[in-house]
Amino acid sequence: MIKLQGKLPREVYVACSGGVDSMAAVDFLRRNHDVFVLHFNHGTTHGHKALEFVGNYCADNDIKFLMNGLYLSRKKNVDESQEEYWRSIRYDWLERCTERQVITAHHLDDCVETWVWSSMHGQAKIIPYSRNDRILRPFRLTRKRDLELWASLNNVPYIEDDSNTDVCYTRNYIRHEMMPHVLRVNPGIHKVIAKKVRDDEQHNRTQSLAVEQTLSTTLPRLSPQCNVDTQSYASKVRIY
């Protein structure tokens, strides 16, 4: 079952690599939302194939589409892994290309792998719902197998990246080599992390409510006799 966290607007901007997770997310969301697809081409051989695939899919299904045109915001740092570099420039572009919030297809399996990975560095973390209030991850409670099932049942096409099986990359090593052992030790690890994801969502809601209550008690009230310079105010506010 696909589960969504948070309330999404009618028009949604979705980051799509062409893989099964993001393609299933696009197909799922476009049933009830107006979808705008954002695609980042990493400039690799697969990247060019994925760009053509996603572009053709969007054209065939009358979906708005934007790609980066091989825009790379910076060069790779010497002490930075290829994974870290691609992730950094991809997020940088997603946050620059639109003023709207962007949805990614991070799912519960991603949350588990991130928790295992970060635990080995001494500070267990889960993937947050929001990044800088620009990137949203509403599929965090959905299992990868449920996205794959959606794609299968609804004939959603996708393209495989061969590098996803290369265990030279840390994420892939954790996914393919370590996770089978983690599941042997704790077959219910996904339930454990799902609870942490829900607790994180509740914590965020509580914080948001606290901020709203603080604002409501601290912001001055304008009397009906006050004259407000609406033109000056409007010039400082951007409506997205």
Confidence of residue 240 (pLDDT cuts 50, 70, 90): very low
Query: pTM for the full model?
Result: 0.82
| pLDDT the model gives residue 205 | 59
| pLDDT the model gives residue 100 | 94
Q: What is the CATH number of the domain that holds 151?
A: 3.40.50.620
Q: Could you tell me which residue, 84 or 60, shows the higher pLDDT?
A: 60
Report the share of the chain in percent with pLDDT over 70: 83
| pLDDT the model gives residue 213 | 46
**CA distance linking residue 130 with residue 114, whole number of Å:** 15
- Asked whether residue 239 carries a pLDDT value surpassing 50, the answer given is no
Please check whether residue 59 is in contact with residue 26, taking contact to mean a CB–CB distance below 8 angstroms.
no
Cβ-count burial of 207 within 10 angstroms (0-12 exposed, 13-18 middle, 19+ buried)? exposed
Structural domain boundaries enclosing 80: 11-215
Q: How many domains does the chain have?
A: 1
First to last CA, the chain: 32
- Asked whether residue 74 carries a pLDDT value surpassing 60, the answer given is yes
Cβ-count burial of 101 within 10 angstroms (0-12 exposed, 13-18 middle, 19+ buried)? buried
| pLDDT the model gives residue 135 | 96
Q: Is 154 among the domain residues?
A: yes
Strands 34-39 and 64-67: parallel
Q: Is 238 among the domain residues?
A: no
In the predicted model, what is the mean pLDDT of the chain? 85
pLDDT tens track for 109-136 = 999 999 999 999 999 999 999 999 999 9
- Asked whether residue 207 carries a pLDDT value surpassing 60, the answer given is no
**CA distance linking residue 127 with residue 93, whole number of Å:** 19
